[in-house]
Structure 1
Amino acid sequence: MQQLETLVADAKALARAEVVPPSSAEQEVSRVMQICNACRYCEGFCAVFPAMTRRLDFGIADVHYLANLCHNCGACLHACQYAPPHEFLVNVPQAMARVRGETYQDYAWPPSLGRLYKRNGLTLCVGLAIGLALFLALGAAQNGALWGAGAGGGNFYSIFPHNLLVSLFAPVFLFAVLALAMGVRRFWREITPATSGAPVNAAAGAEAAHDVLRLKYLDGGHGEGCHDEDDAYTLARRRFHHLTFYGFMLCFAATAVATLYHYALGLQAPYDLPSIPKVLGAVGGVMLMLGTAGLWRLNLRRDPAQGDTSQRPMDRGFIALLFLVSASGIALWLARGSGAMPLLLCLHLGAVMALFATLPYGKFAHGIFRSAALVRHAVEKRLPNPVGLGAD
C-alpha cells in the first residue's frame, strides 16, 4: 500500500510539471543551465553543476531541485565568460535565487501567508514582534506585574504563569512545525521522481548531513570562500552562517533542556549558572547575536548581481527577528530582578512568538528545502549516469 501511495504521489508530481507552465524565472534557469551544460567550466564549484550534467532537459521539478542546491556563493558568476555584459547574460546565482523566492511561495502552507511574507518580510516580522510584545505588556499591566512591587522579583512565572505561556506558545510552535512539514513534503514529492526516485540509504543520508552541518558549499567550491560586494574571496558568509545556525540550535537545546528540567525533574525556572539551560542559552544567544549582525552587514553590502534584491525585505526580516530574539534574551538575563525585567520579558516573548509564526515562510524554510535537495543529490550521485551523461 505504501509503495502504491508513493507511485501515486510521483505521478501527481509529474502531472503537475506537465500541466503547469514554467514561470519566467524557471524558464531563465532552464536557459542558463542549457548554456552551462555546454560549457561545464564551473562543474567543480558546487553540487549544482554535477547535478546539472546528469540532465539534458530542465523541467520545473529539476529547476526547483537545482535552485535549492545552489548556496548563492557567487563563484560561478565571477568565473563565467558568458556573464553580463556578454550577450548570453548568464547569471546563475541570480536566476537560482529568483526561483528559490518562488518556491517559498509555491510550497508555503497556507499559500496566502507565503505571499504576504515575501512582499513585506521585514515590516511583517518587526511589526508582529512589537505587536505581540505590546499585547503581553498590556496583559501584565492589568495584573500589576509590569512595574513596582508586582514586577516579579526575577521570577518570570510570577509575571506570566507557566501554563499560560505553554497555552500561548505551543499552538504557534505546532503550527510552524505543521506548515514546514506540509511544505517540505510537497517539495520532496516533486523532486524525488526528478532525481531518480531511489530511496535514501545510510551512506547518502550521512553525506548529506555532513554537507548540511558543515555548510560545505559556502566555500566557493575550492575552500577560499564566497563573493559578496566584489570578486574577492571571503569566508565571512560561511562563518556568520555557522554562528547563526549553531547559536540557534544551542538556544533551542536550552529550551528543550529547561522543559526536561520542569516536567521530568520538577526544577522550575529561573535557572542560574552553571546550570545546563543557562550555559546553552548564554553561549547560543551570543553566537546568534554575532552571526545575525554579521549577516545583516553582508546583506547590506552584497553586490545586487549576486542574488535577487526583491527578496531582501524577507531576508532582513528573518535576520532581524533572530537578532531581536537573541539580544532581548541576553538583556533579559542581565536585567533579571530589575524594574526593566517585565518589559524585556514581554519583548523577548513577543519576538520568539513572531519568529515561530514566520518560520515556515522565509529563509528558515529554505534551509529545510536545501537540506532535502542535498539528500536527493547524495542519492542521485551514487547512481549510474543516465545515457552516459554526467561528470561524477
Structure 2
Amino acid sequence: MSDHVLVINAGSSSLKYSLIDAGSGEALADGLIERIGESESHQKHRGPDGEAESSDAIGSHEDALRAALDAFETHGPSLDDLELAAVGHRVVHGGSKFSKPTLIDDALVAEVTELVPLAPLHNPANLEGIKVARRMFPDLPQVAVFDTAFHQTLPPHAYTYAVPSEWLEEHGIRRYGFHGTSYSFVSGQAARELGRDLSDLNLIVLHLGNGCSVSAVRGGRSVETSMGMTPLEGLVMGTRSGDLDPAVHGHLVRELGWSVDEIDKALNSKAGLKGLAGENDFRELSRLRDSGDANAQLAFDVYCHRIKKYVGAYYAVLGTVDAIVFTAGVGQNSADVRAVALEGLERLGIRLDPVRNADPAEDGVVSTDDSGVAVLVVPTNEEWEIARQAVDLVRG
C-alpha cells in the first residue's frame, strides 16, 4: 500500500500543499498558491523537474486546488501513478474535542465549524480546504490533524485561567496551545538524536518562527505551553505582542476610543518585532542591529528576555530538564538568539558551546560535552508529521 499523502494547508487567501512519502519524509513535490481571489495570483510548484511559476488569476480555493492538480499533471509527479493513501489537512483549532488525528466526515466538519469563534482567522480557511478536497478526492480518506491536539494532555491546573468558572464551561475560555504538530515531530526527533526513549525525557521545546511558542514536554506529553486560547499569548513574535497586561485593552478603549477589533488587529499584526522595530523578518532585524539601529536592538533584547523567562519557568514546571530544543526558522538559524536567550543559565546546567552553536553539526547538539542539559537544534517538519499521522490512522 502507498505511503504517499497529499498534505494541504489552506489559509484565508493561500493554499500550501506538499506530496509526502510518510515513510521516509521525502517531499516529492510541494507548492504554494497566494493571493487567491485577487486580480493576479501567484503559483509556485516544485517537482522532480524543478520549479515552475505562474501568475494567473485564481478566484477560489477550489480553483487553487485544481491549479495545483494541473501542476502535478504537467510538472509531476503524477498523483494517479502514486496512488495516494490519504489527504492530510492542517486544522489550527480543535478545541477540547480533538486530541488526535481524525477521519473527516460531515460530523467533523460540523464540529470544526462550531469552533470557528475560537479561531476566526484560521478555521474557516482550513474548512474551505477540507470541503474542496472532499469534492475533488471523494474516494480518498481525508484526515484532520489539529495544531491544538498535542496540548490536550495539559493538566487542568495548566490549562485553566483564573476567571469565572462559567467562562470555561459555557464559552471554552482556557489554554489550548498551538504548534502541536511541530512539537510532536521535534520531540521525537530530539529523542532519536539523543539516543534516548522519549518516554524518559523532559524537554523544553522552543518553536521560534514568525509565530513563537514554547512547550514543556514530559515523556512525550505536553504539560505546559505558552500560547493560550489563541496564538497571541506567550513569547514575543514577528507581529504578535505575546504576554500583555489585559488592562491595556480597557485603557485603549477609554483613552483612544478603539474598538475591540482594532485592538485585536493591532496586537496580532502590528505588534511584536514589527511594532518595536518596524520589521518582523528576523534576517532584516539582524541587519538593522548590525547597523546600530537602537529600536532593532531593543526588539531583539525584549525577544530574548521573554524566551529566557519562559525557559526558567518551564524548568521549574518540569523539575529536571534533559534537553532544550530550538526549532523553526529563527530557532534553527539564529545562533545569536540561542546564545543570548540561554546566557547566564549555567547554574541550571545549561552550557552552550560557541563553536557548535555557530555551526550546528548533523546531530544538532550545540551544548558543551559537560553540559548537564543538552541543547539541540532540530529542524521541524510539520508536513511529514501530518503525513505520518494520516497514514497511521487510515491503516489502523
TM over 0.5: no
Which has the larger helix fraction?
Answer: 1
TM-score range, shorter chain: 0.3 to 0.5
Whichever of the two has the greater Rg, that structure is 1
Q: TM-score, normalised by structure 2?
A: 0.32
